[in-house]
Structure 1
Amino acid sequence: MTRLFLTSMDQNQYLVALFIIIALWSSQAMSRTLLQDEVSLSERHEQWMSKHGKVYKDAAEKEKRYQIFKDNLAYIESFNMAGNKSYKLKINHLADQTNEEFKASSTGLNRLYGQMKNTGITFKYENVTDIPATMDWRKRGAVTRVKNQRHCGSCWAFSTVAAIESMFKIAGGKLVSLSEQQLVDCNTNGVSNGCSGGNMEDGFEFIIAKGGIASQENYPYKGVDGTCDKKASHIVEIPVHSYGRVPSNSEKALLKAVANQPVSVSIAVGRNFQFYSSGIFSGECGTRNNHEVTIVGFGINKDGTKYWLAKNSWGKRWGEKGYIRMQRDIDAEEGLCGIATDASFPNIYQEYIPNKGGLPFIASTTNWFMEIVTESFFNSPKSI
């Protein structure tokens, strides 16, 4: 029998050759895997584009958006795999935007810090003690469908309108969808400036000064700045006479208000908010208040976690069919994402709701409403 003896040098050369072969094989296998993954990601992007109706102007823009999509997808999957939060993220219609692009196009709070307006009116819910454990104004038929502001910084208009729609219903009127576009087009003389941003108090003041607001049907939303339609702006829908502010940095005060009506609030949103899917949101938040939503309720989860129920304006494809549950009663006085720092609500004269339970009153001018407002200062009818 012939034996083959390898010298120490031969053994080393053999091992080196074996290592090179294995390395080459592994490299080729990894390359094939990466190529397959890239193809899979590309297919997912194409499917996502088809689902959300995305069309890009050229190949360069498509490639740019694809890279952003990949980065967001990796972030979302990593977050969900960690499993250490009370909520989940998901790929949605905002997935081809960086967080900075998203905040620029899908938020819209415009306010100078330290200059929140003081209405000079005592907080009317200060002495409220009868507060239920849970409240959902949707179940009471006082919340309109979820809307979509699209790529327009008009969150302030949606928050303003949502609060007024609900209060009108609570006061005894009909639930009617009102016009955010009218605020976008016509409320441009103050801090608010259409798709470039605004705030809820500007919205309330505009509606009070003009004697009401048009319906969504009469003045539909377009998602871009437009010329004010003077004819449509003469239509009076809601007798709002003033607005109140919730004392800042008090979730207890905010709870009293929401127990009686939906409330407009500003919050600080960031990347996790952009891709929120379900569960009770507990942060991370943005660094400063930059978005407005409407709180339409509150509740307690099965595990005992308290939460706010907020209506957003990014369509039903976002969050829990357009809504988000945000953790309530946290240690910080400002509340999660600053939710208790900046909150306002409209006041409506209950006596002046024409045809209660039916269609809102429609007038061709604002004289009718202005007469009511003038009379109110002398007769002081009941308001809510």
Structure 2
Amino acid sequence: MASKLATSNLFSVALAVVIALFASPVMSRELKEVVSMSMVDRHEEWISRHGRVYADDVEKAHRFKIFQENFEMIEAFNKAENRSYKLAINHFGDLTNDEFHAAHNGYIPLPKPKGYNLDSNLFRYEDYDLDAAPPSMDWRAMGAVTGVKYQGKCGSCWAFSAVAAMEGIHKIRTGALISLSEQELLDCANGFGSHGCSGGYMDDAFGFTAANHGLTTEANYPYIGMQGMCNANAESSRVASIVGYEDVPPYNEAALLSAAANQPVSVAIDARGPEFQFYAGGIFTGSCGTDLNHGVTVVGYGTSPEGINYWLVKNSYGVGWGEGGYIRMRRDYGPAGLCGIAMNPSYPVA
């Protein structure tokens, strides 16, 4: 027993010495590197979990430095008190925020496709009684939302946003939830102003789908994460059609709520910033502007137990981001909405 106590005491003393040395300004760089190997271990575990492959040791060292900086930023953020949301390392862990933004945000507001904005002054939910609206809405619970998808390193968020809105209205109108093809939009909607992985606009996706008399299924025209040649054969098997789209009055969160109470709605947000890159859960109230650069889909709304009103938003970064691929964003923020969410919403009409 005495031997065990002596060993335990020696370990405690040694640990205290190591901690003191690490904090000391005179500790050598070499010894600090040995003591801080846990960060290397974290990176190695992250590499294994996400299947990341680097070209050589130089790139690996560069990515390790970014990973470490991101990890430390997240740790510091989460230690702060009174946060309504948390951050975590995810599959974007070795990307700078500029790299993340360039590869994953592809919303480009382009001229409206002619003939398919049913009436630029029409908003069919204008007279919707918000007092009679349900206090919360989750279109997932209504069976109108397919599983979370992943756009990969392709600025195709506009296609995923539009498809989620069209999947929703098709389910509401017909009772059938069908996963539709984002790849068809990437390959075939160029004539309506889209630029594939280089960006696009949800209204252009709606315009193409209306002109095309529908979209085919994801199974029939699967996503490959890059723009290819339009597959006319796969394109011909259309299963879900719309007649056009309408705009939600901009700078009006009440109007957006009226629409979201009736169907999923495509919106654009400013998703630049590390807090969005590493969002892990809670009500997002982060700092963001109104430089719209990312297309997502409002699939509901609600109020947290703490009394914060929020939008329930489906993203296209995979289930490893956010709350299983979703983000709850603060609602009732102001005319533009948090991150500009109320600036340019629209929805398909079937």
TM-score normalized with structure 2 length: 0.88
Query: Hey, what does 2:87 align to over in structure 1?
Result: 89
Q: Residue deviations 1:182-240, cap 9 Å, x none?
A: 10111112331100000100000000111111100000000011111111111111120
CA–CA separation in structure 2 for the residues paired with 1:317 and 1:173: 29
CA–CA separation in structure 2 for the residues paired with 1:291 and 1:306: 22
Query: Hey, what does 1:201 align to over in structure 2?
Result: 203
Query: Hey, what does 2:51 align to over in structure 1?
Result: 53
Q: How much does 1:179 deviate? A: 0.3
Given that residues 268 and 295 in structure 2 are in contact (C-alpha distance below 8 angstroms), is that contact kept between their aligned partners in structure 1? yes
Query: Hey, what does 1:158 align to over in structure 2?
Result: 160
Query: Hey, what does 1:306 align to over in structure 2?
Result: 309
Mark the CA change 1:37 to 1:73 in structure 2 (over 3 Å): closer, same or farther.
farther
Given that residues 87 and 278 in structure 1 are in contact (C-alpha distance below 8 angstroms), is that contact kept between their aligned partners in structure 2? yes
Q: Aligned letter for 2:46? A: W
- Indicate the percent of aligned positions where both proteins have the same amino acid: 49
Q: Aligned letter for 1:46? A: E
Q: Residue deviations 1:15-55, cap 9 Å, x none?
A: xxxxxxx9999456564762245411111101001011111
CA–CA separation in structure 1 for the residues paired with 2:227 and 2:177: 26
**Bigger radius of gyration, 1 or 2?**
1
Q: How much does 1:82 deviate? A: 1.2
Given that residues 21 and 27 in structure 2 are in contact (C-alpha distance below 8 angstroms), is that contact kept between their aligned partners in structure 1? no
Mark the CA change 1:283 to 1:35 in structure 2 (over 3 Å): closer, same or farther.
same
Q: Aligned letter for 2:174? A: G
Mark the CA change 1:41 to 1:209 in structure 2 (over 3 Å): closer, same or farther.
same
CA–CA separation in structure 1 for the residues paired with 2:148 and 2:22: 55
Mark the CA change 1:30 to 1:298 in structure 2 (over 3 Å): closer, same or farther.
farther
Q: Residue deviations 1:288-321, cap 9 Å, x none?
A: 1100100000001111110000000000000000
Q: CA RMSD in A?
A: 2.0
Q: Aligned letter for 1:52? A: H
Given that residues 111 and 191 in structure 1 are in contact (C-alpha distance below 8 angstroms), is that contact kept between their aligned partners in structure 2? no
Query: Hey, what does 2:336 align to over in structure 1?
Result: 334
2:347 aligns with one of 345, 348, 351 = 345
CA–CA separation in structure 2 for the residues paired with 1:91 and 1:223: 23
1:247 aligns with one of 221, 246, 249 = 249
Given that residues 181 and 222 in structure 2 are in contact (C-alpha distance below 8 angstroms), is that contact kept between their aligned partners in structure 1? yes
Q: How much does 1:98 deviate? A: 0.7
1:179 aligns with one of 178, 181, 200 = 181
Mark the CA change 1:41 to 1:291 in structure 2 (over 3 Å): closer, same or farther.
same
Q: Residue deviations 1:218-275, cap 9 Å, x none?
A: 0000001111111111111112001111000000000000000000000001221110
1:319 aligns with one of 318, 322, 326 = 322
Q: Aligned letter for 2:95? A: Q
Query: Hey, what does 1:289 align to over in structure 2?
Result: 292
Q: Residue deviations 1:102-131, cap 9 Å, x none?
A: 11111110125xx56764251000000031
1:217 aligns with one of 216, 219, 230 = 219
Q: Residue deviations 1:324-373, cap 9 Å, x none?
A: 0000001x21000000001010111xxxxxxxxxxxxxxxxxxxxxxxxx
Mark the CA change 1:25 to 1:75 in structure 2 (over 3 Å): closer, same or farther.
closer
Q: Aligned letter for 1:245? A: D
Q: Secondary structure at the match of 1:240?
A: coil
Does residue 1:126 correspond to 2:126, yes or no? Answer: yes
Mark the CA change 1:37 to 1:124 in structure 2 (over 3 Å): closer, same or farther.
farther
CA–CA separation in structure 2 for the residues paired with 1:287 and 1:75: 24
Which runs of 5 or more residues in structure 2 are unaligned? 1-19
Query: Hey, what does 1:274 align to over in structure 2?
Result: 277
Q: Secondary structure at the match of 1:171?
A: helix
Given that residues 110 and 191 in structure 1 are in contact (C-alpha distance below 8 angstroms), is that contact kept between their aligned partners in structure 2? no
Given that residues 277 and 318 in structure 1 are in contact (C-alpha distance below 8 angstroms), is that contact kept between their aligned partners in structure 2? yes
Q: Aligned letter for 1:110? A: I
Instruction: Please say which of residues 169-178 and 133-142 is displaced more in the overlay.
Output: 169-178
Q: Tell me how many residue pairs correspond in the alignment.
A: 324
Mark the CA change 1:28 to 1:327 in structure 2 (over 3 Å): closer, same or farther.
same
2:37 aligns with one of 36, 39, 47 = 39
